[in-house]
Structure 1
Amino acid sequence: MTTKEYESYYVPAQSHWPIIGAIGLFLIAIGAGQYVSTLASEEAGWGGWVLIAGIAVIIYMVFGWFSNVINESMSGKYSHQMDNSFKQGMSWFIFSEVMFFAAFFGALLYARTFSVPWLDGAGNNVMTGEVLWPEFTATWPLIKTPDGTTTTGMGWYGLPLINTILLLTSSVTAHFAHVALEQDKRPQLKFWLGLTVLLGLVFLYCQGLEYAHGYADEMRLYLDSGIYGNTFYMLTGFHGMHVTLGTIMLIVMLVRVFKGHFTPKNHFAFQAASWYWHFVDVVWVLLFVFVYII
């Protein structure tokens, strides 16, 4: 008779990090809502400070929680079963992010396909335009709203095209870094991963320049510039937030690489960060097509 061997399964102790993360998200929600509501007024308000505090709490939580997981992994407490748990958790997390952006893309397509044409009398809404805004013309981007607010559409050339090249290139460098890790080529791993982080930082810098250009007097593309301004900043802004998170994850991976962490057979943390980075790259390609080009 053969004896079946069972792996030990490490059960972490109770953690305070989830409640800290919940507090940080609550502060971000309250602060962001208050800050956005006061953008049109000259009053500074307290929303910005609460938003910054929430972001600081989240950063503290992320680094603290990451440290605990890294220490547990490096001490050999994790088994193959735990690795499967991490893989399933990361897969569901990315799936939830897919649904998150699907809702925003759905809102964009609904506004472009149905809402804006209805205001111009499309379909069975002939009298809607005649009664509400008889001089309104349905176009996209909607650079002149029914109430007379005018803005300028953001073209796909220039900074958006540069950002697309940056992110697509970073996806390639992230893949090369992963291949170098699997082949245990540490110098190449450090180079390609460092280059990926650099490309992510340059992308965020260029997006900041794009926003500054949008808010300049010659474009007047504001968050409150009708449905076009709303959807533009909502989609690109949330994507920029995800790129920021992905860049932080890659920086953590780069630090761990320099500390000698990961082996060709044990590197799921690196793989998870790579998955997430490829995800934000795919989302940007869709953004570039549906927000900037079409």
Structure 2
Amino acid sequence: MTTNINTNHTKVENVAGNLKQIQYQNFPFHLVETSPWPILVSFSLLTLTLSAVMYMHGFANGGTLLIIGFFVTVLGMILWFRDVITEGTYQGHHTTQVQKGLEIGVLLFIISEIFAFLSVFWAFFHSSLSPAIEIGGVWPPQGITPLDPFAIPLLNTFLLLSSGAFVTYSHHALIEGNRKGAISGAITCVLLAMIFTGLQYYEYSEAGFTISDSVFGSAFYASTGLHGFHVIVGTIFLSVGLIRIISYHLTVNHHQGYEASIIYWHFVDVVWLFLFIAVYYWGGN
């Protein structure tokens, strides 16, 4: 009898100890755990930026550091994305209130991107509306042969706008529970985005001027190159969303990450329209 009482007492103590380890919260917010990825990505981006400057100015080992910084940045992003997906998909931390906070974060991010492109357009129009005497007082400057806007740029416009239409179809198909349509629309969008990037690279390789050829070359490559970088980032975002659709991570009511990438992609589409009209068509004539 004494042995049974002691055994039961031990079991009660174990149960009480387990209950103490269970944590409850009376708020809908997600308190993230300590993560090494923000500091890793911060230092990798610092390395990437400094090494890019070193490489452009011909410093020794600049190219090696640039490659290292790029791959460490990509690795940090992959690990960070993995943790966020785990928190939202498997652990259920992305409550309605958390999703509202993420929506605000995406909105602020898009606004910051708008001002980044605004600065580039400002530099372009500052030089083109009143050409300086150093470049002959004309725009495009003397000796610069601009690209034909109705060749690759026009084709890229159709490709990018079509990709936006297909990803919108994918989004609506996902909401309606049409898994096949959601996947096919996302795949088509990613393929069109990759073709756009390939044509952009071909255009750069065949252009008759470089980034060092007067302010025209600097403004052209700064604006289109910045947009091209955003296309690559947006393609990665959409590819992650496609993989998550295939893996059954996204539902009819819970697909905020994919939705944010679609909003980002439409932003990229709109910026390209301004680039095509201002830089390729108006700025090249």
User: Which TM bucket (shorter chain)?
Assistant: 0.7 to 0.9
Where in structure 1 are there 5+ consecutive unaligned residues?
39-43, 120-132, 145-149
Instruction: Find 2:164's aligned residue among 164, 171, 196.
Output: 171
Partner of 1:292: 280
**Amino acid corresponding to residue 84 of structure 2 in structure 1:** V
| Distance (Å, rounded) in 2 between the aligned partners of 1:78 and 1:51 | 35
Out of 96, 111, 117, the position equivalent to 1:95 is 111
Does residue 213 (structure 1) correspond to residue 176 (structure 2)? The answer is no
Rounded to whole Å, the distance in 2 between the matches of 1:48 and 1:292 is: 31
Larger Rg: 2
Counterpart in 1 of 2:192? 199
Displacement of 1:100 after TM fit? 0.4
Instruction: Report if the CA contact (8 A) 2:28-2:98 is conserved.
Output: no
* Contact 2:29 2:97 (8 Å CA) reproduced: yes
Q: CA shift at 1:200, angstroms? A: 0.6
Distance 1:292 1:200 in 2: 19
Partner Cα separation in structure 1 for residue 255 and residue 233 of structure 2: 19
Match of 2:179 among 163, 186, 211: 186
Amino acid in structure 2 at the alignment position of 1:197: V
Q: CA contact under 8 A between 1:7 and 1:79: conserved in structure 2?
A: no
- Find the counterpart in structure 2 of residue 35 from structure 1: 55
**Offset, 1:29:** 1.3
1:141 is matched with which residue? 140
- Match of 1:260, SS state, is coil
Which is helix-richer, 1 or 2?
2
TM-score normalised by L of structure 2? 0.86
1:56-82 per-residue CA deviation (whole Å, 9 max, x = no partner) reads: 122111111110000011121221110
Q: Cα deviations across residues 83-140 of structure 1 (Å, max 9, x unaligned)? A: 01110101000110000000110111111123x2x42xxxxxxxxxxxxx6xx63221
Look up the match of 2:99.
83
Q: Decide whether the 8 Å contact of 2:160 with 2:193 is kept in 1.
A: yes
Partner residue of 1:261?
A: 249
Higher relative contact order (CA 8 A, sep 6+): 2
The CA RMSD measured in Å over matched residues stands at: 1.6
Counterpart of 1:17? 37
Question: Are the equivalent residues in 2 in contact too, given 1:197–1:250 (CA < 8 A)?
Answer: yes
Name structure 2 gaps, 5 residues minimum.
1-24
128, 148, 154: which one pairs with 1:112? 128
The 2-side partners of 1:267 and 1:173 are apart by 17
Question: Hey, what does 2:226 align to over in structure 1?
Answer: 238
Cα distance, 1:45 vs structure 2: 4.2
Is 1:162 the counterpart of 2:161 in the alignment? no
Partner SS for 2:177: coil
Number of equivalent positions: 257
Percent of residue pairs identical: 32
State the alpha-carbon separation in 2 of the partners of residues 196 and 76 from structure 1.
29
- Go from structure 1 to structure 2 and tell me whether the alpha carbon gap of 1:137 and 1:10 turns closer, same or farther (over 3 Å shift): closer
Q: Please tell me whether the aligned partners of residues 171 and 182 of structure 2 are also in contact (alpha carbons under 8 angstroms).
A: yes
Q: Is 1:227 the equivalent of 2:215?
A: yes
